[in-house]
Amino acid sequence: MAVGDLTGDGVPDFVFGAGKGAIPAVAIYDGATGASIRTCQPFDAKRKKGVRVAVADVDEDGRYEVLATLGGGALDTAVAFDASTCQRKTTYPSFGLKKGVFVGGTRR
């Protein structure tokens, strides 16, 4: 789970990654209302290793993106995507490990 203002209303929103065995989805909820904003699927549906998430402004445009990686046993690819469109913005190169990686976010 990660927290960050993805809607721009000044209230932190919540991002949840699916657990191991589930389709690798990321669910985003509005922190002000608790309503579901959207569910994104940043990885192939067959890669059911669990999704780890973070929130960070990776392109320094003043808006947060969602960072996601797959859990242990998966390639260590990390991606950043737009929370409002689910469109991938960045794919980070693999370290060559298949143990999964973790992601963390920052504030500017």
Q: Using CB under 5 A as the criterion, which residues of the chain lie in contact with Ca ion when the complex forms?
A: 57, 59, 61, 63, 65
Q: Which is nearer to Ca ion, 10 or 61 (CB)?
A: 61
Smallest distance from Ca ion to CB 96, Å: 28
Smallest distance from Ca ion to CB 13, Å: 14
User: Is 60 in contact with 71 (CB distance < 8 Å)?
Assistant: no
Smallest distance from Ca ion to CB 42, Å: 16
Q: Which is nearer to Ca ion, 47 or 63 (CB)?
A: 63
The full length of the chain comes to: 108
User: Is 66 in contact with 57 (CB distance < 8 Å)?
Assistant: no
